[in-house]
Amino acid sequence: MVKNSRIGILAGGNWILDFIKMIDVYPNENALANIISQNSGNGGAPFNVLKAIRKMDFSIPLEGVGVLGDDEFGDDILDQCERLGLETRQMKRLKGVETSFTDVMTVCSTGKRTFFHHRGANALLEEDDFDFEVSKAKFFHLGYLLLLDNLDRIHEDGLSGAAKVLRRAKEAGMITSADIVSEQSDRYTEVIPSSLPFIDFLFINELEAHNLTEIQLLDADNVFLISNGFKAAKKILDMGVLSWVVIHFPNGALALNKEGHQILQPCIKMPKKLVKGTVGAGDAFAAGVLAGMHEGWEMEASLQLGVNVAASSLMDNTASEAILPWMECLQLGNKFGYRKL
């Protein structure tokens, strides 16, 4: 772990309000589904990660950077940030633009989610909106790549806007991490690679890892292929990631670093009756890992915290409301045990 005098976590990227609708079935086109209940909550990588860390009860200075519309949704996000004690001096309001939001359709019986996203203000986030000179944060987390229109644009020098932002964060002395959105496209190999040489910790799921590497990660029964997961992580490291590639999948997570150190961490056997939804579970996992790494934990302990925090997030249909203090999160693993991989 790189040591420096900085402290805290700065997170930037997509700031979203999620409108979560619990439905009885996901319908075919022109068919009907019933909304059983609905709720709203935080969404987007920086919002989810920072709120999760605050709810874990770590005394880590937390800062956000992003753009919001000059509307009631933007007011809501800033009000939540104030209540959470998040520093918002780099949160910018844009007149005549709507704050980004997502309608999340979650099937009650399976927890599977389908997202209908309005890109809104996040699409206008620019490189100049990030000021690393005013921040004393140790870590900078950026997400989501592929869902930030201006930052996903490739410039004449071959670098995306996100790559340039991450490079500036590194030059300022920060430890960088990033997350990717799961989209059905062929943009992964076009947009993502130029950012990788400026990322210390890359968080990626099995779908995203497959799309980036073209390595098959699921068998015919949709079971994650662990050996292929480590091959994908190695390929991504060879593409430039500086320290660790962390791949999370439904039954656990794996991590591989530049020195070839492999870690496999199964997820918790959460009772089905306790699972209310999976919205934000990936960000909750990343929040646990980042909090552990910020506090100087080894990756093994940080991954274990990550899967425990993700498990606690499942107990509500919003991204973060059910997240417990970190020591209580770790008790979930002791209480319910871990899956076999």
> Out of 44-53, 62-71, 258-267, 269-278, which region has the weakest mean confidence (pLDDT)?
269-278
Average pLDDT score, the chain: 96
Asked if residues 341 and 251 have their Cβ atoms less than 8 Å apart, the reply is yes
Check whether 85 has a pLDDT greater than 70.
Answer: yes
Report if pTM > 0.85. Answer: yes
* pLDDT score at 2: 46
> Using CA atoms, how far apart are residues 137 and 65, in angstroms rounded to an integer?
12
Q: What is the pLDDT of residues 161-178, one digit of tens each?
A: 999 999 999 999 999 999
Q: Does the domain spanning 9-16+44-101+119-336 belong to CATH 3.10.20.30?
A: no
Residue 135 gets the label, from left (phi > 0), alpha (psi -120 to 50) or beta, of: beta
CA distance 341 to 266: 6
Domain ranges of the chain: 9-16+44-101+119-336
Q: Are 138 and 8 in contact (CB under 8 A)?
A: yes
Q: What is the pLDDT of residues 289-335, one digit of tens each?
A: 999 999 999 999 999 999 999 999 999 999 999 999 999 999 999 99
* pLDDT tens readout for residues 92-143: 999 999 999 999 999 998 888 899 999 999 999 999 999 999 999 999 999 9
Q: Within a 10 A sphere around the Cβ of 186, how many other Cβ atoms?
A: 8
pLDDT for 4 equals 64
